[in-house]
Amino acid sequence: MTNTILVTGATGNVGGQVVKQLAAAGANVRAAVRSTSRAEGLTGVELVEFDFNKPETVQAAFEGADKVFLATPLVPNMVEIEATSVEVAKKAGVKHIVKLSVMGADSQPEMILAQMHREGEKKIEDSGISYTFFRPNSFHQNYITYTGNTIKSQNAFYLPLGDGKISFVDTRDIGAVAVAILTQSGHEGKAYEITGSEALSNAQLAEIFSTVLGRQINYIDIPEDSARNAMKEIGMPDLQIDMVLGLYAAQKAGAYSSLSPVVEQITGKKPITFEQFVRDYAQVFTGS
């Protein structure tokens, strides 16, 4: 296996898993990172400094890559940087792009996040480069990134999701699917929705947290305005806030509860459950 596979967002929730699992499979991996000095955890791969807003770094990273796992940040100019990446990929002779999109990109046209990802997908379709689209649901690991601190310090987490059930998926499963698609043929021109094997409400997730962690964890359903104000306080741009809240609204309404068999079909393994996720990362949520 000698072809070079470029992974953008290589230190992110999904990109990090793709890099780790590709390297374990013996692939020739080029990991694009903001700073090589801060990527000590990525071993056995080629590191390249990369910034979507610096075209010269994009060109250098794509040069000589045969395949690309394209994960772009949730930023206001996401469509623009994806378009630039596709143009560079075509000039560099990239043969296949696997784009990390979002569940609902083709079925939730009123949602800003879906609109932007679908625009990126169209750029790839129009480029003539072979592609596969990943459309995962929200990640188990979001409960570390966005609610880990309050679970640890307050035994509670706060989200504007009501009783909506969501078929969360583990980033480790997304990584495993990515490895299969990046190292095998037969997935060209396809779009895969990727979910876990169960659709759960946040109240049910709180019960799982409580059982696994051995202490009462409460889910607090908050108004959308409260969530917006909290995101504003940490400096999120308004468009980014609208993207997130649009996704939350669709999830609250039940639009993200469907189940997909993709993980088991492609990897041969059942998706990681939320309970197993909490067990595996229990130390993150402890108060010690």
Tell me: pLDDT of 134 over 80: yes
Whether the CB-CB separation of 2 and 28 falls below 8 Å is answered with yes
pTM of the model: 0.95
Indicate the range of 41-45, 86-90, 250-254 predicted with least confidence.
41-45
Angle at 132 between CA 78 and CA 166, to 5 degrees: 70
Q: Directed axis angle between helix 112-127 and helix 238-252, to 10°? A: 100
The mean pLDDT of the chain is: 95
Calculate what percentage of the chain has a pLDDT beyond 70: 99
Is the pLDDT at 204 greater than 60? The verdict is: yes
Assigned CATH topology for domain 4-136+169-195+258-269: Rossmann fold (3.40.50)
How sure is the predictor about 39, in pLDDT bands with cuts at 50, 70 and 90? confident
**42 pLDDT exceeds 90?**
no
The b-or-e profile of 129-145 (16+ CB within 10 A means b, else e) is bbbbbbbbbbbbbebbe
> Any idea which of 31-45, 65-79, 197-211 has the lowest mean pLDDT?
31-45
Residues 6 or more apart from 10 whose CB is under 8 A from it?
16, 18, 19, 31, 32, 33, 39, 42
The closest of 8, 42, 26 to 179, measured between CA atoms, is 26
pLDDT of 288 reads 57
* pLDDT for 2: 60
- Poorest-confidence range of 16-30, 31-45, 67-81? 31-45
| String of DSSP letters for 127-195 | HT-EEEEEEE--BTTHHHHTTHHHHHHHSEEEES-TT--B--B-HHHHHHHHHHHHHSSS-TTEEEEE-
- The answer to whether the beta carbons of residues 273 and 204 sit under 8 Å apart is no
**Averaged pLDDT, 25-45:** 89
pLDDT at 109: 87
Per-residue pLDDT tens for 260-276? Answer: 999 999 999 999 999 99
- pLDDT score of 1: 43
Task: Determine contact, residues 102/142, Cβ cutoff 8 Å.
Answer: no
Provide DSSP, 215-269.
Answer: S--EEEE--HHHHHHHHHHTT--HHHHHHHHHHHHHHHTTTT-----HHHHHHSS
Reported as a single tens digit per residue, the pLDDT across 60-89 is 999 999 999 999 999 999 999 999 999 999
